[in-house]
Amino acid sequence: MLSNMLGSKNMTEKDWNNLLDTALPDVEKEMDASPFDTKLSFNMADDARKVINENLNIKDFHKKYHSKLLKEFGEEVGQDFASGADEPAQETDGVKWGMVIDLRKCVGCDTCTVSCKAENRTPPGISYNVVLEQEIGDFPNVAKVNLPRPCMQCEKPSCVQVCPTRATYKLKNGIVTIDNDRCIGCRYCIVACPYGARSFDFGESYEDEMPGYNDVTSPEYGIERGERKPGKTPIGTVRKCNFCLHRLERGEEPACVETCVGDARFFGDLNDPNSTVSKLSKSPRAFRLKSDLGNGPNVIYLK
Amino acid sequence: MATTAVAAPSARVKAKQSKRFKIWIGFLFLLLIAGGYFIVERLVQGLPVTNLSSITPWGAWIAFYIFFVGLSAGSFLLSTLIYVFGMMEYERIGRMALFTAIVCMIVALTFVLMDLGRPERMLNAIIYWNVTSPLAWEVHFYLVYIALLTTELYIAMREDLVRLAGTASLKGKVAKWLTFKNSTITESTKKRDHKWMKILGTIGIPLAILGVHGGTGTIFAVVQARPSWNTGLFPVIFVVSAMVSGTALLLAMYIIKKKATKQKIDHGMVVSLAKMMVGFLFIDLGLQFYEYLVGVYGLEHHHLEGLGTMMGSAYSWSFWGVQMFLGAAIPIFLVFNKKTGTNVNALLTAAILIVIGIIGVRFNIVVPAQIVPLFEGLPAGDYFPTFNEWMVSVGIAAMGLLIYTFGEQLLPIEEIQSSEKTEG
């Protein structure tokens, strides 16, 4: 019937409004019928729109309605609505570190891989970051795709799920870390990681090609371990990218981000809606690797 | 049948047997020492002595670990047929099954220990138990399971221990120590022991199926990153193949032992066990068929590649040659062929081949899934165990056989009554 009507005559704005009025319930009537304050609900809805459009501060919004909500809904619901007087300044949501990698900017130079190895002084066979290079298409329509792959610092990491000793765990800031002093080296996490982002430290060394390599180790997770010796942690345990946590703690970006020649990597707080990474992560170009697995990677790619 | 045997074995036969026993023990010690050298090498140098890598982090030792857990679970479940379901025709192998189950668990855990990057921290899995980790659960299940098996074996042996406690032999001394001197056998203790065997066996069934072996399958099945493991059927196949290998192992051990000690073989039981073994094998093959069919039908790239690696790559000899031909086709033929189906030697061959076939099954589970790269562009794995890995495995297996052999010397694992009858 509706399609008939649409087909038979040109609808004016008035017709549309009429159609809506008949289809939608009357909000005022609905609210009156409810046990709640009609006026309060309308005012709150208006102000909430203002908050969304950034015409009103969320704190002022809370302050304005705190007492009214307490009266309307009682302690249980009203409590959640901060009074604004003694606001615990953003205690709940700290930073959540995330990375955005623009694949159109990546030239496949492997600088990230090299700088990562230099920064973390990873032994032979271990690269926290690698760049997967692939040629797609048939000649002459070929293209090269470079895919840098650090650890995804997943929201729900498989490695943390399977670790028998809780040696690998997620920090509040979103980084998945390893307690190398607890790790028993069972390598279940390597098997379970869908991104191949974990490596086992077999104890190899560059000492032969690079005298003095063993003398200094990277202060991963802020722990200074001194000389690299056989049988000494982290040898015999699992290692992984940790977004250069030791650099973050002194206010520096991860080494791969800092050195990227094409400026393809962005780093920041995904909890902050105004950060570059947050904005880029909402781009239509944004995608995550193996998103169907449900791990929720915090490394986002732009295609 | 036993009573019709020769009245008493002559001194010559006994001397020959003890010589044979010495050769056997000597051989095992030799293997243990040879393996021991490589175990020490592995402990000193760490895992670089293996062919493992970060791409293929699990290899031969994990395959042997799940193989021995399977043997253990299978032997134990066979013992429950006797003690819980009252199939007394298999009673001859009841204690053997329980003791085998214990030894196999010790062997399996030794393999895990060898495989850990930090063996000295093994207790961390208990101290810092992560409840979402199937592996951590397994460690706990294994310990409870070993405790249960030991208790059950003790109760099963108790009457014979009490009987032995009076004798002056080495077995008698051990028995005296184990029975706390004042034990007696009465109708009421018989009843009590029987009841406890049933209770422990009944607790043990879900423990062995869900906890120990299904759980070991779960370690693999929960790994979403490896589609060829990530199926609901996977733990079930683990349990069924455990039954296959457990039955085959006990059958082979029973025949070999009887032959070596020149005792009479219970022919009827051998044939019936062989039928049961092949029965389990058929269920196993059926489940595998569905597993592969569903996997292939899904056309999921990664899953196809995993199956392709197993069935149609340089690794496929292990699947077609060991798992399917040696471990399934030949044994099925041997058991069902009219001529060989009643021949003890042929059935022994079938049982040994099935055990070897299940080793192939375990390798085919562990290795091919880790050969396929997780992403296109990441390097593919390339794994074949090193000489060290083989020798460590030989050493650990020899250790298990030694424990079993000495255990049998010290404990009444075999029914005394029947051997008494044999000796007249």
pLDDT of residue B85: 84
Tell if the CB–CB gap between A186 and B117 is shorter than 8 Å.
yes
Pick from A125, A161, A185: CB nearest B117: A185
Residue B24: partners with Cβ closer than 8 Å, 6 or more residues away: B260, B405
Please, what sign has the CA dihedral across residues A60, A65, A67, A69?
negative
Contacts with B373 from chain A: Cβ below 8 Å = 196
pLDDT of residue B308: 92
Q: Give the amino acid at A72.
A: E
Residue of B nearest to A185 (CA): B117
Q: Which DSSP string do the residues of B214-231 spell out, in sequence order? A: HHHHHHHHT-TT-TTT-S
pLDDT digit string (tens) for A161-191? Answer: 999 999 999 999 999 999 999 999 999 999 9
Output the six-digit token pair for B349. Answer: 């061959």
pLDDT of residue A78: 59
How many angstroms away from the CA of A151 is the closest CA of chain B? Answer: 14
Number of Cα atoms under 13 Å in the Cβ half of residue B246 = 36
Residue of B nearest to A130 (CA): B378
SS3 content of chain B, % helix, strand, coil (to 5): 75, 0, 25
Interval A192-203 mean pLDDT: 94
Tell if the CB–CB gap between B374 and A235 is shorter than 8 Å.
no
| Interchain CB contacts (distance < 8 Å): A and B | 135
Nearest CA-CA partner of B67 in B22, B104, B115: B104
Question: What burial class does residue B178 get, using C-beta atoms within 10 Å of its C-beta: 0-12 exposed, 13-18 middle, 19+ buried?
Answer: middle
State the Cα–Cα distance between residues A56 and A51, nearest whole angstrom.
5
State the Cα–Cα distance between residues A301 and A303, nearest whole angstrom.
6
How many angstroms away from the CA of B63 is the closest CA of chain A? Answer: 14
C-alpha of B269 from chain center = 20
Output the six-digit token pair for A173. Answer: 């800031």
**Which of B118, B139, B365 best tests the A interface by mutation, with the highest count of A CBs <10 A?**
B118
Cis peptide leading into residue A234 (ω within 30°) = yes
State the Cα–Cα distance between residues A106 and A111, nearest whole angstrom.
10
**Which of B42, B55, B121, B141 best tests the A interface by mutation, with the highest count of A CBs <10 A?**
B121
pLDDT of residue A80: 59
Output the six-digit token pair for B277. Answer: 């073994």
Tell if the CB–CB gap between B118 and A203 is shorter than 8 Å.
no
Decide if B49 contacts B42 (C-beta within 8 A). Answer: yes
State the Cα–Cα distance between residues A13 and A111, nearest whole angstrom.
59
Backbone angles phi, psi at A78, to 5 degrees: -60, -30
Quick check: A134 contacting B, CB < 8 Å? Answer: yes
pLDDT of residue A264: 95
Tell if the CB–CB gap between A164 and B46 is shorter than 8 Å.
no
Residue of A nearest to B134 (CA): A162
Residue of B nearest to A200 (CA): B54
How many angstroms away from the CA of A300 is the closest CA of chain B? Answer: 16
Quick check: B134 contacting A, CB < 8 Å? Answer: yes
Output the six-digit token pair for A3. Answer: 């399609």
State the Cα–Cα distance between residues B185 and B278, nearest whole angstrom.
39
For the CA atoms of B245, B247, B249, B253, the dihedral, rounded to the nearest 10 degrees, stands at 180
Task: Decide if pLDDT at A10 tops 80.
Answer: no
Taking a contact as any Cβ pair under 8 Å apart, which residues of chain A between 8 and 47 contact chain B?
A: none
Decide if B60 contacts B391 (C-beta within 8 A). Answer: no
Residue of A nearest to B371 (CA): A191
Contacts with A201 from chain B: Cβ below 8 Å = 117
pLDDT digit string (tens) for A240-279? Answer: 999 999 999 889 999 999 999 999 999 999 999 999 999 9
Number of Cα atoms under 13 Å in the Cβ half of residue B422 = 15
Residue A208: partners with Cβ closer than 8 Å, 6 or more residues away: none
How many angstroms away from the CA of A294 is the closest CA of chain B? Answer: 10
C-alpha of B363 from chain center = 15
pLDDT of residue A25: 79
Quick check: B224 contacting A, CB < 8 Å? Answer: yes
Quick check: B379 contacting A, CB < 8 Å? Answer: no
From first to last of its 424 residues, what are the pLDDT tens digits of chain B?
Answer: 344 444 455 667 777 778 888 999 999 999 999 999 999 999 999 999 999 999 999 999 999 999 999 999 999 988 888 888 888 878 878 899 999 999 999 999 999 999 999 999 999 999 999 999 999 999 999 999 999 999 999 998 888 888 888 787 888 888 888 877 667 788 888 888 888 888 998 888 999 899 998 999 999 999 999 999 999 999 999 999 999 999 999 999 999 988 888 888 889 989 999 999 999 999 999 999 999 999 999 998 889 999 999 999 999 999 999 999 999 999 999 999 988 888 999 999 999 999 999 999 999 999 999 999 998 888 899 999 999 999 999 999 999 999 999 998 888 887 655 444 333 3
Decide if B377 contacts B52 (C-beta within 8 A). Answer: no
- Cβ–Cβ contacts within 10 Å for residue A46, how many? 10
**Which of A184, A204, A299 best tests the B interface by mutation, with the highest count of B CBs <10 A?**
A184
- Cβ–Cβ contacts within 10 Å for residue B196, how many? 17
Q: Which residue has the tokens 């099945």?
A: B221
Taking a contact as any Cβ pair under 8 Å apart, which residues of chain B between 3 and 42 contact chain A?
A: none
Q: A170 has which bridge partners?
A: A176
pLDDT of residue B4: 41
Query: Would strands A265-269 and A97-102 be described as parallel, antiparallel, or unpaired?
Result: antiparallel
How many angstroms away from the CA of B308 is the closest CA of chain A? Answer: 19
Q: Give the amino acid at B152.
A: E
Q: What stretches of A163-226 show up as alpha helix (H) in DSSP?
A: 188-192
For the CA atoms of B150, B155, B157, B159, the dihedral, rounded to the nearest 10 degrees, stands at 160
State the Cα–Cα distance between residues A39 and A61, nearest whole angstrom.
16
Interval A232-236 mean pLDDT: 91
Q: A99 has which bridge partners?
A: A267, A299
Counts of helices then strands in chain A (DSSP H, E): 12, 10
Tell if the CB–CB gap between B57 and A191 is shorter than 8 Å.
yes
Measured at the alpha carbon of residue B49, what is the angle toward residues B45 and B53, in degrees to the nearest 5?
115
How many angstroms away from the CA of A236 is the closest CA of chain B? Answer: 4
pLDDT of residue B422: 37
Pick from B57, B119, B374: CB nearest A200: B57
State the Cα–Cα distance between residues A279 and A90, nearest whole angstrom.
20
Q: 3-state SS string over B340-388?
A: CCCCHHHHHHHHHHHHHHHHHHHHHHHCHHHCCCCCECECCCCCCCCHH
Taking a contact as any Cβ pair under 8 Å apart, which residues of chain A between 234 and 293 contact chain B?
A: 235-238, 289, 293
Q: Which residue has the tokens 């086992």?
A: A200
In order of start, what are the domains of chain A with their CATH numbers?
2-80 (no CATH), 97-302 (3.30.70.20)
**What ipTM was assigned to the predicted interfaces of this complex?**
0.90
**Which of A128, A158, A166 best tests the B interface by mutation, with the highest count of B CBs <10 A?**
A166
Q: A143 has which bridge partners?
A: A136
Q: Give the amino acid at A55.
A: N
pLDDT bracket for residue A4 (50, 70, 90): low
Query: Would strands A97-102 and A299-302 be described as parallel, antiparallel, or unpaired?
Result: parallel
Tell if the CB–CB gap between B374 and A184 is shorter than 8 Å.
no
Q: A168 has which bridge partners?
A: A178
State the Cα–Cα distance between residues B112 and B393, nearest whole angstrom.
11
State the Cα–Cα distance between residues A281 and A80, nearest whole angstrom.
29
pLDDT of residue B419: 41
